[in-house]
Amino acid sequence: MILRVKDVSVARGGVAVLEGLSFEINPGQALIVKGPNGVGKTTLLRTVAGLQPPFKGQVEAPEEAVAYAAHSDGLKTMLSVEENLRFWADVFGQSDIEKAIQAFDLVELRSRLAGSLSAGQKRRLGLARLLVTGRPIWVLDEPTVSLDTASVQLFADAVRAHLAEGGSALLATHIDLGLDVTMLDVGPFRAKQGDAPISGYDEAFL
């Protein structure tokens, strides 16, 4: 087990959205979170990634084990593709960026400014960043948005390789990646108390 979520409840805007979730992810395993729009998938992923605290329960993972990628790619627009990857590799104490450039088909784009890339190309660069973090747990919120079929395949291959190396992944996605994964439907964990604000909980505390 590398990630354990124990009886976790999460909130957004001070209101409970999901309650009583428990699951574990082992090395080499991926879990896909399913559920309708607005049910709380992003909130759960943000909580697992440590961007906000759960208001109940615990998230247990090794220190600095999680790499999180969400809707905004967080690219440095005035740096090239290669410079962006070097920057992130430095931040995470890694040196190899070639694997990431190859895996996400960025060879021809390596000298282009990130700000000049198309939406799908930006997304590929954002996902390539995962490979230069060296972190074992990928937490990914809708990672395939803007990607064409070929790029979705590149992404699925990258996840498959990550799992084969003993990594793990927690993903919210609506598309079938063709991976052997466990599914978790969070619909049944929707919070029951409606829109009542939670007293004494501040999700912005981190």
Ligand X SMILES: Nc1ncnc2c1ncn2[C@@H]1O[C@H](COP(=O)(O)OP(=O)(O)OP(=O)(O)O)[C@@H](O)[C@H]1O
Residue 53 binds to ligand X (criterion: CB under 6 A): no
Q: Is residue 71 within 8 Å of 46, Cβ to Cβ? A: no
Helices (H), 7-97: 41-48, 81-91
Least distance (Å) between residue 70 CB and ligand X: 10
CB of 142 to ligand X, least distance (A): 7
10 or 100, CB closer to ligand X? Answer: 10
- Least Å distance, CB 9 to ligand X, is 13
| Interaction residues for ligand X, span 32-51 (CB under 6 A) | 35, 37-43
Tally Cβ neighbours within 10 Å of residue 63.
5
Instruction: Identify each DSSP E strand in the chain by its residue range.
Output: 3-12, 15-25, 30-34, 56-60, 66-69, 137-141, 168-172, 182-185
Which residue's Cβ lies closest to ligand X? 13
Tokens of 33: 């979170």
Q: Report the C-alpha gap between 171 and 164 in whole angstroms.
A: 17
Q: State in angstroms the smallest separation of the CB of 26 from ligand X.
A: 24
Under rule CB under 6 A, how many of the chain's residues touch ligand X? 11
Residue number with CB closer to ligand X (166 or 197): 197
Binding site for ligand X (CB under 6 A): 12-13, 17, 35, 37-43
